């Protein structure tokens, strides 16, 4: 098992180097001079220009620059934001819990609904229930989520007035972040109503972000179940006289879940891409909104560092999924 893990980890290294080259090249590929881009609209004196150029090392050969860049990276230095002057890694770590909280609640919602719904659709194959569920899943899969979010805001915030339009918690509440997860922090703060406020802020973004993964998981669970239900061991279990619930839950579902786990793992990239749109619509202070804002503010140091950090997260999650897959499906380990 350890060997399997290490071999997968070793495969990541060239990819990570490639990703770092992409992020490194990014700021140098932008049209115009990187120093002038860093300076923004203000411009600067010739003296200051020379000073910055040697500070950032742009006057050195490319491979020397890349070497310095990598040494900095390995020491945890992902650059400094031009707008806030704070280290990119520090900003990332402040904002990441917000995205993590949103993504986790979205994927939990997607699994909690998608897997049972997919199983039911497979068991009742061809019924009106199956057709309705799969129709809904296809609509969800085709959904432009930025529009879906706006519709939900119109309905639940505008017409019904049930949920707030944006943010993570009402401005009435203030407490220092302990875990960075608003749900937990609001409970820890002990302020009455804080938890409820945090939940009501989280609901709509969660639904929006969960939509596409939910549809994908439901479809994948259904087709995996259909495949498994036709297998001999399921027929054997049935003919032994086991109750259908036990056959479906134990014999079929356990084997059907193997491809579903991979699907869920693949949704991480989808979630982070979705977070860009969802966070923008709901002004959710996470890394998706941070990246979009930085692109617009031309804070290229943040874009560069953020790109690398986000890719690293996706790669690590994919590694975990790979290992999990090996754990539940021993056949592929060798």
Q: Among residues 99 and 206, whose Cβ is nearest to other proteins?
A: 99
Q: Does 171 bind other proteins (CB under 8 A)?
A: no
The nearest distance, CB 133 to other proteins, in angstroms, is 13
Q: Among residues 138 and 327, whose Cβ is nearest to other proteins?
A: 138
Give the whole-angstrom CA distance, residue 304 versus residue 175.
32
Compute the residue count for the chain: 334
Other CB atoms within 10 A of residue 303 CB: 22
CB 215 within 8 A of CB 141: yes
Q: Does 36 bind other proteins (CB under 8 A)?
A: no
Q: Does 110 bind other proteins (CB under 8 A)?
A: no
Which positions from 224 to 243 touch other proteins by CB under 8 A, shown as an x/- string?
A: --xx--x-------------
CA-to-CA dists, residue 29 to 33, 55, 135, angstroms: 9, 19, 44
CB 275 within 8 A of CB 287: yes
CB 169 within 8 A of CB 161: no
The nearest distance, CB 164 to other proteins, in angstroms, is 13
Q: Does 142 bind other proteins (CB under 8 A)?
A: yes
Residue with tokens 């498994």: 228
Count residues near other proteins (CB under 8 A).
Answer: 45
Q: Does 302 bind other proteins (CB under 8 A)?
A: no
Q: What are phi and psi of 176, to 5 degrees?
A: -70, 145
Q: Does 307 bind other proteins (CB under 8 A)?
A: yes
Q: Does 138 bind other proteins (CB under 8 A)?
A: yes
Give the whole-angstrom CA distance, residue 88 versus residue 65.
19
Q: Does 280 bind other proteins (CB under 8 A)?
A: yes
The nearest distance, CB 199 to other proteins, in angstroms, is 22
Q: Which of 116, 158, 243, 249 binds other proteins (CB under 8 A)?
A: 158
Give the whole-angstrom CA distance, residue 300 versus residue 78.
12
Q: Among residues 103 and 105, whose Cβ is nearest to other proteins?
A: 103
DSSP assignment of 1-60: -HHHHHHHHHHHHHHHHHHHHHHHHHHHHSSS-HHHHHHTTS---HHHHHHHHHHHTTTS
Q: Which of 121, 169, 277, 321 binds other proteins (CB under 8 A)?
A: 277
Q: Among residues 65 and 157, whose Cβ is nearest to other proteins?
A: 157
The stretch among 19-27, 95-103, 192-200, 243-251 that binds other proteins (CB under 8 A) is 19-27
Q: What are phi and psi of 80, to 5 degrees?
A: -125, 135
Q: Which residues of this protein are in contact with other proteins, per CB under 8 A?
A: 14-15, 18-19, 22, 26, 29-31, 135, 138-139, 141-144, 146-148, 150-151, 153-154, 157-158, 226-227, 230, 269-270, 272-273, 276-277, 280, 291-292, 295-296, 303, 307, 310-311, 314-315
């Amino acid at each position: 098992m350890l060997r399997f893990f290490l071999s997968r980890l070793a495969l990541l290294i060239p990819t990570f180097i490639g990703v770092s080259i992409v992020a490194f090249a990014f700021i140098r590929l932008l049209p115009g001079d990187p120093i002038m881009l860093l300076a923004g609209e203000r411009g600067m004196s010739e003296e200051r220009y020379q000073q910055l150029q040697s500070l950032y090392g742009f006057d050195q050969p490319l491979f020397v620059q890349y070497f310095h860049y990598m040494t900095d990276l390995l020491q945890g230095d992902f650059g400094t934001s031009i707008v806030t002057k704070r280290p990119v890694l520090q900003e990332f770590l402040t904002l990441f819990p917000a995205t993590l909280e949103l993504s986790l609640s979205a994927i939990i919602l997607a699994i909690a609904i998608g897997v049972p719904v997919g199983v039911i659709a497979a068991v009742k194959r061809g019924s009106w229930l199956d057709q309705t569920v799969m129709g809904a899943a296809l609509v969800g899969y085709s959904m432009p989520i930025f529009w879906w979010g706006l519709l939900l805001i119109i309905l639940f915030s505008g017409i019904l007035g049930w949920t707030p339009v944006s943010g993570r918690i009402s401005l009435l509440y203030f407490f220092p972040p302990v875990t960075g997860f608003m749900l937990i922090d609001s409970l820890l703060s002990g302020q009455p109503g804080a938890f409820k406020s945090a939940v009501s802020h989280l609901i709509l973004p969660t639904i929006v972000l969960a939509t596409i993964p939910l549809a994908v998981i439901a479809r994948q669970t259904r087709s995996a179940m259909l495949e498994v239900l036709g297998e001999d061991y399921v027929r054997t279990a049935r003919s032994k006289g086991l109750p259908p619930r036990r056959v479906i839950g134990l014999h079929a579902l356990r084997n059907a879940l193997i491809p579903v786990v991979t699907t869920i793992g693949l949704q991480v990239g989808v979630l982070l891409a979705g977070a860009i749109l969802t966070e923008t619509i709901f002004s959710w202070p996470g890394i998706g909104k941070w990246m979009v804002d930085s692109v617009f503010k031309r804070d290229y140091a943040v874009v560069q560092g953020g790109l690398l950090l986000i890719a690293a997260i996706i790669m690590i999650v994919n590694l975990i999924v790979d290992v999990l897959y090996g754990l539940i499906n021993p056949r592929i380990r060798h």
